[in-house]
Chains A and B, each alone.
Chain A
């Protein structure tokens, strides 16, 4: 038994059934130890694909995703995927081979200071220099990855430690995750008191609702309070579509009703969200009339960007359950005002509901995505980054947040296909759809080979506008149409590329053909790609420009002025510093 074999058995003892990786010199003993292992190794075609696949696996399941690479370039190719996991709080254990300890620090072949490189983008990391250190590191790595706010943990493992005798290490003992403590009673009482006074409350929900396994408690809280609710990109699906409190996504590409509700509310109940700039717009003018109750398992997020009136640090699910109980007791207070507020918010949502009757015969991507979500309501969607990502967020009807996998905080193009691979392997029975764009898709196109190798029935919808669409849109709006390096009109024949990888492919470029194309895609057994040609000039609306507040949306399709009149002082008349809490 050497260190590598011990490590493989440790992974199995941790319940790991699938790892994603790519071999190389410094990790060879580990790959040798995979012979006879019960866990499955998925060979990708680029280490970044391994990191994103482990990421997608973890996002879809809540379990720890594991990826493996060799030293040097293998490890550095994982960096983007590790950073993505850190920024979106995805539990991962990343194992990299390292040169033998006597060679470390000598600029050896394929030696990189991966430990140092990844310090800012991991929750923690280990560089075990003996098998005894390895024995302590592995269970701790899994515990750290899972505990509290999840995140990636690196184990950089020198080759000689992999080869060292580990027969004396004994049985592997996993460590239980450290539970998030419940919120203090005093903080809940304070929060309840603040909530009781509100007449125009809004719930602002973020990815922490999912990470904290608090979706059920969250839904109960919304049902009991009846408060209008807005969600970030990572919380979409926390409320089912059509819920009478569901206002959808707020922020830069959020809808008008969600943004205006936040701008007009007198109370913001923040649940597992972090005031990210994509959600808040100009922070100094975000929710200008609102007191803030902030419920979060990560104490560091409370008060980081916005001072709060009531902080509720602790386990989100139990906090919501306790606040639900109080809400039920106080149901009569301000009931009429609150119901009128909710009704007004939802009426605005109905009045500004997106339209799908785009003129012309070209494919209208929002309509396609909405229709696909109706045809595949239980699908897990692994989405890449760009305009298509925002259209998915705006128009796909998610029924659970773990069905929506997307690189939110990092916005890493190339995420979609490998993440879809990870999600499909996590649940072979799931219907997994990858929505990508022509820019993003090329970044990890090599993983079509992985799709084919493992016969994964992922369905790819490739929205091709022959451009880096989001960048093109910004250059159109904010750089006087001085387009620079966004032209992708020399894209390959994507359907032909897919077929070259042995994957069935089809093409659609007319709106009239979309229904048949989607049906054909979903009927296909095995992996398939639908190449969709869309208008290069299509833009994502609404859009909140940089350094503007969320009421100042650009919305050519809307029929209200950008700054809505309210009974409260308008943003033009109030002093933001007076309105915000100190």
Chain B
């Protein structure tokens, strides 16, 4: 199953690595990653597509737990 992720991250050291690492460790392979720092300089906006066998709620909850993850939405790819 493929999922689209929309994330807002605190722009802190390690934030991107934590998100990518968490997705992979929880069984979701990144297929595409795109993002940019926000104009205020304090946040990243990240869009990802991942593929995995587990339910989207697992990924949503695990990413939500990250200290630098301010908001995350996970949706099945159409």
Contacts and interface: CB of A to CB of B under 8 A. Distances in A.
B62 A124 contact: no
A299 B21 contact: no
B9 to A, nearest CB: 13
B57 interface: yes
Interface string B17-40: 110010001000000000000000
A77 B58 CA distance: 32
Contacts of B13: 115, 126-127
Contacts of B64: 299-300
Interface in A105-131: 115-116, 119-120, 123-127
A144 B10 CA distance: 15
Interface string B37-66: 000000000000000000101100110111
B14 A303 contact: no
A299 B57 CA distance: 10
Nearest to A300: B61
Contacts of B67: 123-124, 144
Interface of B is mostly: helix
A119 B62 contact: no
Interface residues of B, number: 16
B59 to A, nearest CB: 10
A304 B14 contact: no
Contacts of B55: 303
A150 B61 CA distance: 17
B61 A119 contact: no
B14 A300 contact: no
B41 to A, nearest CB: 15
A119 B14 contact: yes
Contacts of A126: 13
B14 A125 contact: yes
B13 to A, nearest CB: 5
A269 B62 CA distance: 23
Contact of B17 (A116, A123, A144, A298): A116
Contacts of A116: 14, 17
Contacts of B66: 124
A209 B78 CA distance: 41
A232 B68 CA distance: 32
B65 A119 contact: no
A119 B58 contact: no
A123 B68 CA distance: 11
B57 A303 contact: yes
Contacts of A144: 67
Contacts of A120: 21, 25
Nearest to A307: B55
A126 B25 CA distance: 21
Nearest to A115: B14
Nearest to B20: A119
Contacts of A304: 58, 61
A581 B61 CA distance: 21
A509 B14 CA distance: 54
A123 to B, nearest CB: 7
Interface string A126-157: 11000000000000000010000000000000
Given A124-B67, A127-B13, A300-B65, A119 B57 contact: no
A350 B67 CA distance: 47
A470 to B, nearest CB: 27
Interface in A293-315: 298-300, 303-304
A120 B65 CA distance: 13
Given A115-B14, A124-B67, A144-B67, 11 more contacts: A116-B14, A116-B17, A119-B18, A119-B21, A124-B66, A126-B13, A298-B65, A300-B62, A300-B64, A300-B65, A303-B58
Interface of A: 115-116, 119-120, 123-127, 144, 298-300, 303-304
26 contacts: A115-B13, A115-B14, A116-B14, A116-B17, A119-B14, A119-B17, A119-B18, A120-B25, A123-B67, A124-B66, A124-B67, A125-B14, A126-B13, A127-B13, A127-B14, A144-B67, A298-B65, A299-B61, A299-B64, A300-B62, A300-B64, A300-B65, A303-B57, A303-B58, A304-B58, A304-B61
